[in-house]
Structure 1
Amino acid sequence: MAATPPVCDFGWKAPHFDLPATDGRRYRLEDIAGPKGTLIMFICNHCPYVIAIRDRILRDARDLAALGIGVAAISSNDSNAYPEDSFAKMAELAEAEQFPFPYLHDEDQSVARAYNAVCTPDFFGFNAALELQYRGRLDASRREREVPGLRRDLYEAMREVAETGQGPAEQIPSIGCSIKWKPA
């Protein structure tokens, strides 16, 4: 089922985390933070919305790193219900696709709850002070593979954050599969 996150709450502070990554290390928010800003993405392996844009997520992450933006992706889905989102499968995907960022596992879903993550993908773009400046879409595509000529909304917004510390006033929310929450 498709879900859409709320609009950007400018200035909201990034919650701390300490999560295991597919590269065998643990990462805290401070380890990810870049000198010009930080992008935290909630993604997963199985979501058709993420699969359709994964190549552009990787491209934008590489381009943003060159601008001083730290990047990480977090998978919070219930892997008991969705085995393709298991930590082992995350590691396989990250290696096969050569993710240029840590791919973190939020097994207890506490980080997704702290961020109020809604869907995959859900993008949180912070400035150097770790204040939220962007919570929008990657681009205008949804579940389609790359459409030529689309504006790179996420990249352009984070470039603006890197240059000015502030994100664009107008943002269009992402859309994707809802986070797969564990039963209460």
Structure 2
Amino acid sequence: MAERARSEGLGFAGINSNDPVNYQSDSWDNMVKRANRGMGYSYLHDDTQDTARAYGAERTPEFYLIDSSGSVVYRGRLDDSPRDPSHTTSSDLANAMDDLVAGRSVSVSRTDSIGCSVKWKH
């Protein structure tokens, strides 16, 4: 998806907001290991969780498509089959990107994200 975004002139970044103390797999060291395997996009750490709170993040992953004015025009899942791409019937983020790039209003601006809850700091 990151490659497609780039080809359409859109930015793409992953932001990890999980608490690394209570969720070791999202520690800084593990983030670096993941990034070094070649993610194809910037992978950022939201140490304060301020970004997650500002956007109302609930799940990981949760996708946000933001237009040139800074407005969120899509929020939700990548598609309707995160575990098996061969069963995908709705490519929600791609459809929203298509609308945005074509200059149309995003037809479906919100879908339920599929994933684990954000691991908030206590």
Following superposition of structure 1 onto structure 2, how do residues 1-184 of structure 1 map, counting pairs within 5 Å? Answer: 60-96=1-37, 98-142=38-82, 144-148=83-87, 150-164=89-103, 166-169=105-108, 171-183=110-122
Which one has more relative contact order, counting CA pairs under 8 Å at least 6 apart?
1
SS in 2 for 1:124: strand
Aligned-pair RMSD on alpha carbons? 1.6
Q: Is the 8 A contact 2:79 2:88 kept in 1?
A: no
Cα 1:99–1:160 shift into 2, 3 Å:
same
Pairwise CA distance, 1:149: 5.3
- Which 5+ residue runs of structure 2 have no aligned equivalent? none
Which digits, 9 at most, give the CA deviation of each residue in 1:95-120, with x for residues without a partner?
A: 11x11111000111111111111110
The sequence identity of aligned pairs, in percent, is 37
Q: Tell me the TM-score normalised to structure 2 length.
A: 0.90
- Which 5+ residue runs of structure 1 have no aligned equivalent? 1-59
Which digits, 9 at most, give the CA deviation of each residue in 1:58-103, with x for residues without a partner?
A: xx1111110011011100111011111011111111111x111110
Q: Tell me the TM-score normalised to structure 1 length.
A: 0.61
Cα 1:135–1:149 shift into 2, 3 Å:
closer
Q: Is the 8 A contact 1:77 1:85 kept in 2?
A: yes
